[in-house]
Amino acid sequence: MRKIVSIVIGAALVLAALPALAQDKVITMSTTTSTEASGLLDFLLPEFLKDTGITVRVMSKGTGAALKDGMDGNADVVFVHDVAREEQFVAEGYGTKRYYVMYNDFIIVGPESDPAGIKDAPNSAEAMKRIAAAKAPFVSRGDDSGTHSRERQLWEATGLALTDAKSPQDADGWYFSIGQGMGEALIFAEEKEGYVLADRGTYLQYKFGRTQPYDLVVVYEGDDMLKNPYGVIPVNPEKHPHVKFDLADTFAQWLVSERGQQVIADYQLHDQPLFFPDAK
């Protein structure tokens, strides 16, 4: 009888421990909205779970806010797209290493009629300058994201006077800073029949992945300043001992492995790849 009771108690203890064990294999990732809005994470994370048994809980926000999560110890790993700020994050000890993962590109989308005449611009800075000169509606994410950071770089490259180093000085009435993610910015630009800087992955998802596609088209693309690299960084356990570094590093290593890179390459929409593997 004692033996039976011992077996029952032992089994109960094992069953009670299972939820805790499962919970231990969960990490929190703070990532840019474009990895989620593009549909990539819905495709990629189930494959990672299948290979490793690790669940990734996603917090989607602008790159600046995602890096802040890492700095505050609110995430185990960050997956973002602003190389300068990522390198600073590592240099200041908040992350252990930046891994090159993939890239896509930024594009300027807008009405097919192209009222600012940017289609034949010689470079992206000139395209932005023409938008400003025409006072054509332009939608900015205005959310300190990687996309917003690149937009600021493009405005700076125009040589135009800027307000608060982020928008043209005479932006009243045509420049809309909405403080929202990429999807919301695309929808707002559609409503205003305006231009917006977008990452190609999210644009394609919103263009072809919705029941009601929108009319915005790619008006300008291909400039060197529009390349958009993504990196993954495990949060440094020396800064935040509670983070699940081993699991986070497993995720980073999987992303840059042959298997992870192939999963990224396989993600397509309407036979168009949304991201390109870029592990170094």
Q: What is the pLDDT of residue 153?
A: 92
Same domain, 181 and 217: yes
Same domain, 151 and 186: yes
Q: Which of 212, 227, 242 is the last residue of a domain?
A: 227
Determine contact, residues 103/133, Cβ cutoff 8 Å: no
Q: What is the pLDDT of residue 7?
A: 44
Stretch 95-112: mean pLDDT, rounded? 97
Same domain, 54 and 140: no
Same domain, 70 and 119: no
Query: Is the pTM higher than 0.85?
Result: no
- pLDDT band at residue 172 under the 50/70/90 scheme: confident
Same domain, 98 and 235: yes
Same domain, 6 and 63: yes
Q: What is the pLDDT of residue 103?
A: 94
Condensed to tens digits (0 to 9), the pLDDT of residues 31-88 reads 998 899 889 999 999 999 999 999 999 999 989 999 999 999 999 999 999 999 999 9
Same domain, 73 and 141: no
Percent of the chain with pLDDT over 90: 72
What does residue 222 show for φ and ψ, rounded to 5 degrees?
95, -5
Same domain, 133 and 160: yes
Same domain, 217 and 235: no
Structurally, the chain folds into a number of domains equal to 2
For residue 86, the enclosing domain spans: 2-103+229-277
